[in-house]
Every structure is written in structure tokens, then in C-alpha cells.
Amino acid sequence: MRIDQRKIVLGVFIDLKKAFDTVNHDLLIRKLVNVGVIGSALDMLKSYLSNRQQVTKIGEYRSSPKRISCGVPQGSILGPLLFLIYINSISYIKLNGELTLYADDTCLFYHGSCIHEITRLAQEDLNLLFNWLQSNLLTINVPKTCYCIFKAKNKIIPTFNKLKIDSKPLTEKNSETYLGLRIDKNLNWQVQINHIKTKLSSFLGAIRHGVGCLPREIRLMIYNSYVKSHLSYLIEIWGSASKTKIKELQILQNKIVKVLFNYDFMTSTDIIYKETKIMNIYQLYYFNTLILIYKILTKKIHCQIKFIRHHEMPRYSLRRHNKLVTPKARTNYEKKTITFEGAQLFNNLPDHVKVADSITIFKRRLKLYITQNDIV
């Protein structure tokens, strides 16, 4: 992480105005040809896009049908794929920063020691992106486009020229949401944790008087679909927050499990989690982080995070054959990264778990190891 090196990281979060609805069909067809879609496949997609109509309904009144001349159908399987093909050539622009695309969520990241140089490079890229998007009939939603400066808590940033798009200033924020993850400028994950607490507190209030008659298996389904889903989402990233912050969620999780499964308030949480076979938040972080590492090591996912096994190093020790190299860490930021903390967690696993032949076997052995050894 660049922040460990006392660097500044600038993230620009670009919002496109009605991105899926403004895809130009003629341009899309040309881009499909460029990626090799021709013949009957192209004719089928042309037919899919052409002669589509829409109707507006207000109360009991309907408008007459109007032909749709642009856009890809939202809520369809093809819609996001066609949009990705449409916008994919944006990656051909020679930019100073690192461009990250996920459907219509577009981000630019920069790092360096001088805020003036970073913002200069970012402004150059924003000008290029604005022109490219205009030529492809896409529009940046300037009021919703913003940027964040990520830095060490005690690092002072001097005054700098604010970023602009089409001469309109962008908003600088202390935190921003990207793919459902709330990222704050100091990367302490307090905003993300507060968001989860708000969601789960509302859920706790809703179930206090409404679950008494439900069978246990239904309650478990409710827990998994609402509570576990919120706690697990990207916990591999924010789960490395300070113990004080994580404890706030653990206390809330304890209350929910007691209410949902009709346990007395004084019942030991250890007993509750064993009887319900539910993982507490610390175990969820442990479980999800190690699954991610296993997928990276076995190349199940494409990821910029890299781990090195000791047997890949010169003069490795046979006793360390199944262990990962732990990078040097001097700061708390470094010690909280998945490459450091995650590698330590993996190295502490018994070998029979590490060498599992498939992700299914790995998950089963890992969960058994967690429950049998009271991992917290």
C-alpha cells in the first residue's frame, strides 16, 4: 500500500449519467464488429437492439409506444455485457493513472509524494476522458463525480488546485462508496462499519417481536440472507479494522443471534454460536480471508494481489514448503494488509487444510478447523 510509504493516493470516482440508456446502437454495432462479432451472431444482436419500444404508465394512463433509438436493456443478461463491450475501448486511452472499470463504475487512482503533481496528472486524464466519453455519446454526471485523497492520518496536505470536468469543479469527499464498499480517507473503515451497524440495528428492531413462531431452519435462513450477507460482504478488506471497531459489530451480532434464536440475554455467546453453528464476525473474517487467499494461490480468480510460497524462493526450507512469504511490515497499515495479515493466517493453518485439492474441500476443512479450535 502506498500509504505505508507516506505517499498520497488520489481516487477519482466517475459517475456516468444514465450510462446504459445512452448507448448508441450504431456505435455499439461497430464495436461488436471490432471484437469479432460478425455474421449471424451480429445479425441476431442487431435484431435484439432494433425496433424496441417503451411505454410510460402513470396511474391508469399509458402513453403511446415510442421507439427506443439508443440504450441497452437493463435487468437483462446481455445488457451489462453489451455495455462493457461499448465502453471497453476506453482502456486504449493512454492515461497517467490506473483506470478501474466495473460496468458503469469508473475509477482513476494516482499515487505520489506531491499533491500538486498528482492533481496535475489527474486533470490531464479527466480532460482526455471527458473528450472520449463525448465522442462515444456518454455523459459524465459532474455533481455525482467526486474524488478522495487517501493518506496517513497525521499527514498534512497543502492547498492544491481542485479537479474540474468541463470547467465545473468536482466535490472532494472524506469517503466514497465503490461497489458497495465505503472507503474513507484514512482507511480505518469506520464509515463502512457504521453503515453495517445501521442496517443490522434496523433488522434487530424488526425481529424483536416477529420471529417467535418461526421454525429454527427459517430463522437460520433469515440470518444468512440478511445478517451474514451484510457482515460477510468484502469483510476480507474492512475486517482488518481495529479490534475496537470490530467489537462494535460483534456486540450487535451477539444481540441479533440471541433475539433471533430465542436465547436468554445471559446465555454465553460461545454456547450460542456452537449450538447454532454460526460463525462470529472474527471467524467470518478469518474464513473469508483464507478462502480468498486459496483462490488467489490456485488461480481461481484474477487478482493483482500476489502471494509467494517459500518453495518458490531460493534456498527455501522444507519445513516451510506450504508457507507463504510474509512481507516486512513496519507500520500498522502494512500489518493490516491481506499480504501480511492474510499470509500469517494462512501460515498458521495445518497442512492438511492448506493442501486441499479443491475449493469445496478447503472450505469444509477450514470451517471444521475454525469450529474445533475456537478461532476468534
> How far is it, in rounded angstroms, from Cα 129 to Cα 38?
29
pTM, 2 dp: 0.86
Three-class DSSP category at 242: coil
| Domain layout of the chain by residue ranges | 2-13+95-180, 21-85, 190-278, 284-372
Phi-psi region of 6 (alpha: psi -120 to 50; beta: other; left: phi over 0): left
Which of 198-207, 211-220, 283-292 is the least confident region?
Answer: 211-220
pLDDT value at residue 318: 41
Burial 143-181, CB ≥16 within 10 A → b, else e: eebbbbbbbbeeeeeeebeebebeeeebeebebbeeeee
CA distance between the termini of the chain: 26
3-state secondary structure 40-100: HHHHHHHHHHCCCEECCEECCEECCCEECCECCCCCCCHHHHHHHHHHHHHHHCCCCCEEE
| Least confidently predicted of 212-221, 242-251, 284-293 | 212-221
Classify the C-alpha dihedral 235-236-237-243 as positive or negative. positive
In whole angstroms, what is the distance from residue 61 CA to residue 247 CA? 53
Chain segment 124-175, per-residue pLDDT in tens: 999 999 999 999 999 999 999 999 999 877 788 888 999 999 999 999 999 9
pLDDT in tens, 51-60: 888 889 999 8
